[in-house]
Amino acid sequence: MSRAGFRMVAVFGLVLLAAGCSDGTAPPPQPAVPQKIKVQSPKAGENAVAEGSQSTAAAPVFVYNPSGRRDPFLGLLAVKKPVGARQPQPQTPLQEYELGQFRLTGVIRNSSGPAAMVMAPGGKSYVVKKGVKIGKNGGTIIAIEQDRIVVEERYYDFAGELRRDRQEIRFPNKAGDN
């Protein structure tokens, strides 16, 4: 770069620097306007402030009411509302437990269709067929296959859309199998 170009850049920089500086002073800060706070008189049974002492209003207390709101710590896809009215008590013993608590113990194939035997957490076994309600979320058995039972749960997600979730109850792994 030539000397003339260098001088031009230097002069331009000084002009910008001078334009950024102002010789005016900042306006003085405005005094805060005091706000009037309405103090409620104490109700019967509350501690009253002694006369002559000055009372200040306490900050309002915030109380969180979670009713009608989803849990913010759950994932958006984890929020499920069952389809239809939820029964206050299970209609069958199979509806007392979550699907993951059942163990598949056997599959039976006969002329009337496949059936399966599942064991509940209490150790009691039940024979189930296609169409039987199972699980706390109103699941229905839609298929019984050679090594598993397929259960479909219908629910509304956080956006109000109807979703279907298929889960399986399988035979437990044998020791040493992966």
Q: If you average pLDDT over every residue of the chain, what do you get?
A: 77
pLDDT at residue number 176? 58
* Stronger pLDDT, 100 or 71, i.e. the higher one: 100
The vertex-72 CA angle with 160 and 75, nearest 5°, equals 65
Q: Read off the pLDDT of each residue in 87-99 and give the average, rounded to a whole number.
A: 78
pLDDT at residue number 163? 83
* Stronger pLDDT, 34 or 140, i.e. the higher one: 140
How many whole angstroms separate alpha carbon 128 and alpha carbon 113? 11
How many whole angstroms separate alpha carbon 5 and alpha carbon 9? 6
Q: pLDDT confidence of 13, banded at 50, 70, 90?
A: confident
pLDDT at residue number 93? 86
| pLDDT reading at 46 higher than 60 | no
Residue ranges per structural domain of the chain: 90-170
Q: Is 145 in contact with 104 (CB distance < 8 Å)?
A: no
pLDDT at residue number 156? 77
* Stronger pLDDT, 70 or 151, i.e. the higher one: 151
Closest-CA residue to 93 (of 144, 131, 136):
136
Kindly report the pTM of this predicted structure.
0.49
CATH topology of domain 90-170: SH3 type barrels. (2.30.30)
Q: Which helix (H) or strand (E) holds 16?
A: helix 3-20
